[in-house]
């Protein structure tokens, strides 16, 4: 296998850390052969700062790359997947895989009926599954929780001890996304459940898949979900002190999902935008032979005290940390502890070897189906909803 040429779509935050991780890949020759994004200015600035050739569109970039790495807002994922899969390119797709984004600018997700939303999403998922299968290329679903070292260690412990996972608890929460389109359903496909909940949900679904495959070759998959969503920062009585992002238009800022698996075991996901103190990510596993707490952030690897020296203000210490004064759980290397590095390493290795990624399309399809079944459940104030599986 020669050099794998990667073309990045999107020139924002995710694209930035993908470049860092792509440049650390070992054992596979990788060239970042292009970047494109919606605005000429953003792609030019991004490409010039990193020495990456710039293209005006994905169509213009396609002939120059082997792998298409989609780092655009969720509403653009499907279009990019279609173009790349039809051209037979390997794909890396940022979370969430896709979603429901309405049909016009007047769309309000919180008021839209969720049953037709779920149906439309399932149709899109079937479309993606067929396109990727026909392309014969590899597919990496960029769910970094799967690749976090703590989660990978737990996966190994489950597989090697034949553990049965009885219940799990996972969370991603922080004080609000940086992305300008976050908080608008027609761009993001929903709020906390999809924007953040997809992460711990992906890890929970992954661990049960691996448990089943280790036992008898078949993944244990989700069959039903109950969910609640709330818009706490839009409550009439909310008292804004300026520490939390509050400009959500039609999405929830807090959510719960209770997932039931085919073997009757369960997983709970908590997620929200009202959490101060930096990004809060963990997965807990309660098995029949062990218990595990997987920390992604904070990891407690480094406790840093700053008495107030302003020279700390411009340093990166941890995602979504609003102050650098006092005690902080500064992250030594988030690319590693959050799983970003191993995620990109696995995807490039799989593209080179033709293997299936740990975080693959099957996981992405199940995650998306659970989330939109959860929105239907939340509309019914928590009533259990069957998860319609795509494959």
Ligand X SMILES: NC(=O)c1ccc[n+]([C@@H]2O[C@H](COP(=O)([O-])OP(=O)(O)OC[C@H]3O[C@@H](n4cnc5c(N)ncnc54)[C@H](O)[C@@H]3O)[C@@H](O)[C@H]2O)c1
Binding site for ligand X (CB under 6 A): 9-15, 37-39, 42, 71-74, 76, 94-95, 142, 144, 179-180
Q: Which is nearer to ligand X, 202 or 267 (CB)?
A: 202
What is the nearest approach in angstroms of ligand X to the Cβ of residue 244?
18
| Calpha distance 195→74 (Å, rounded) | 9
Q: Do the Cβ atoms of 350 and 360 come closer than 8 Å?
A: no
Shortest Cβ 151–ligand X spacing (Å): 14
Shortest Å distance, C-beta 43 to ligand X: 7
First to last CA, the chain: 31
In terms of CB distance, is 163 or 318 closer to ligand X?
A: 318
Name the residue with tokens 């694209």. 15
DSSP 120: H
Question: Which residue in the shown chain puts its C-beta closest to ligand X?
Answer: 12
Q: Which of 69, 72, 68, 71 is nearest to 89 (CA)?
A: 68
Which is nearer to ligand X, 142 or 329 (by Cβ)? 142
- What count of other Cβ atoms lies within 10 Å of the Cβ of residue 85? 23
- What is the nearest approach in angstroms of ligand X to the Cβ of residue 143? 7
CB 35 within 8 A of CB 45: no
d(CA 9, CA 80): 8
Q: Which is nearer to ligand X, 59 or 119 (CB)?
A: 59
> Smaller CB distance to ligand X: residue 72 or 192?
72
How far is it, in rounded angstroms, from Cα 119 to Cα 388?
9
Question: Closest distance between ligand X and the C-beta of residue 214, in Å?
Answer: 26
CA distances from 363 to 56, 158, 241, 243, 346 (A): 32, 18, 39, 35, 15
Question: How far apart are the C-alpha atoms of 255 and 273, rounded to whole Å?
Answer: 9
- Is the Cβ of residue 65 or residue 142 nearer to ligand X in the bound state? 142
**Tokens describing residue 200:** 């711990």
The structure tokens listed for 365 are 């399809």
State which residue, 89 or 261, has the beta carbon closest to ligand X: 89
Q: How far is the CB of 341 from ligand X (least distance, A)?
A: 12
Tokens 């070759």 belong to 217
Cα-trace Rg, the chain: 20
Shortest distance, position 297 Cβ to ligand X, whole Å: 10
Closer residue to ligand X (CB): 17 or 312: 17
* Cβ-based neighbour number of residue 374 at 10 Å: 31
Q: Closest separation between CB of residue 338 and ligand X, Å?
A: 7
């Amino acid at each position: 296998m020669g050099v794998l040429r990667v073309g990045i779509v999107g020139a924002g935050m995710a694209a930035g850390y993908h470049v860092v991780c792509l440049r650390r890949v070992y054992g596979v020759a990788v060239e970042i052969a292009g970047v494109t994004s919606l605005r000429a200015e953003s792609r030019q600035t991004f490409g010039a700062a990193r020495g990456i050739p710039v293209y005006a569109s994905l169509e213009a970039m396609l002939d120059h790359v082997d792998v298409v790495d989609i780092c655009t807002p969720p509403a653009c994922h499907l279009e990019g997947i279609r173009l790349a899969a039809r051209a037979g390119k390997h794909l890396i797709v940022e979370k969430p895989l896709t979603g429901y984004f309405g049909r016009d600018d007047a769309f309000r997700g919180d008021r839209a009926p969720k049953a037709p939303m779920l149906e439309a999403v399932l149709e899109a998922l079937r479309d993606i599954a067929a396109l990727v299968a026909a392309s014969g290329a590899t597919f990496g679903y960029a769910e970094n929780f799967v690749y976090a070292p703590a989660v990978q260690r737990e996966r190994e412990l489950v597989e090697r001890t034949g553990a049965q996972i009885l219940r799990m608890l996972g969370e991603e929460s922080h004080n609000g996304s940086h992305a300008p389109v976050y908080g608008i359903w027609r761009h993001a496909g929903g709020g906390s459940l999809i924007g953040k909940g997809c992460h711990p949900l992906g890890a929970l679904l992954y661990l049960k898949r691996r448990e089943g495959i280790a036992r008898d070759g078949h993944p244990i998959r989700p069959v039903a979900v109950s969910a609640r969503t709330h818009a706490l920062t839009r409550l009439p009585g909310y008292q804004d002190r300026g520490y939390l992002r509050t400009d959500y238009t039609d999405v929830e800022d807090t959510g719960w999902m209770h997932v039931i698996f085919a073997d009757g075991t369960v997983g709970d996901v908590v997620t929200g935008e009202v959490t101060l103190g930096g990004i809060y990510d963990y997965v807990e596993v309660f098995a029949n032979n062990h218990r595990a707490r997987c920390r992604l952030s904070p990891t407690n690897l480094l406790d840093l005290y700053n008495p107030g020296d302003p020279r700390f203000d411009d340093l990166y210490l941890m995602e979504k940390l609003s102050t650098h004064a006092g005690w902080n759980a500064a992250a030594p290397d988030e690319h590693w502890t959050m799983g970003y590095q191993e995620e990109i390493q696995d995807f490039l290795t799989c593209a080179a070897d033709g293997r299936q990624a740990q975080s693959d399309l099957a996981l992405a399809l199940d995650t998306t189906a659970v989330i939109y079944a959860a929105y239907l459940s939340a509309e019914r104030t928590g009533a259990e909803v069957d998860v319609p599986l795509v494959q």
